[in-house]
Amino acid sequence: MFLLKEKFTIRNRVVLITGAARGIGLAVARKVKAKGGIPVCIDLASEDLDRLAVELGDSALVAACDVSDAAGMQAIVDLAVELYGGISVVVANAGIERIDPSLNMPAEDFERVLEVNVLGVYRTIKPALEHVVKRKGHIVGVSSVSALVPWPLCAAYGASKAFVGSFMRSLRMELAGTGATAGAVYFGYIDTDMMKRSTGKTVVSELFYRIPSFGLGLKPRSPEFAADKIIRNIEKRSAAEFSHFDVKSTFILRGLAQLFDDMTARRTGISQVIRKHYAEENRKQQEQ
């Protein structure tokens, strides 16, 4: 016999959201407010963040912070607890991407992706975790189809999103019996500024043309659509949510798909694309 979980209500709950100034995070902040929740919105200082503060007014806390700044994130959590009495939900959404083969990507770019997408997620969740547990709340980590399949030119991004998925699975098990829960959302193509910048690169467009499209969730979805998936994950206390059906299929079949990585690389000509676009840069490196 299946037991139905009681729906988690966002109304009157304090919801901490990172990467809230634009894209998916902005859409989540708006939906939380519309549902009667109290958004705590965090992002880098920008005009977009200033506009969000004006839009939400006194019904929210909007603060500028780099999520990789542990002390800064702790201070914001402390302030939110002081103002509102606690935090019930965390949406660890902030993330960045850098595009280049690992051979060519500057070390500082590769490490910055891990700093934001791995340590930033941890440093978002860690100071809020005791408060979420106390209120039997929920934590959402934003992952990606890049966590499920190899993503040439974005190794750091894919690895970081794999961390998010694994972290949420382990955290969910650790929270069993506390009343609090954790889950991950796996997104394919979401029409954000980051995705537009990425797909606007010639080398990325050529790879997209060559690689099999099924399982990648390449049909564009809006940030609002993605935000609905996050809200659904919170309200249902889901372990996992997906932006596209084929992303869910990839999630289920990823172990099997890994057996075909070498064949996929050969048949799609990924190595030729990389050599074509980075040959001159690689030649200069070899001459040094």
Residues with catalytic roles:
157
Local structure of 185: helix, strand or coil: strand
Cβ(41)–Cβ(61) below 8 Å: yes
Q: How far is Cα of residue 67 from the mean position of the Cα atoms in its chain?
A: 13
Cβ(59)–Cβ(33) below 8 Å: yes
Cα gap 52→50, rounded to integer Å: 5
Neighbours of 51 (CB within 10 A): 14
Local structure of 89: helix, strand or coil: strand
Residue 70 is encoded by which pair of tokens? 């542990």
Local structure of 36: helix, strand or coil: coil
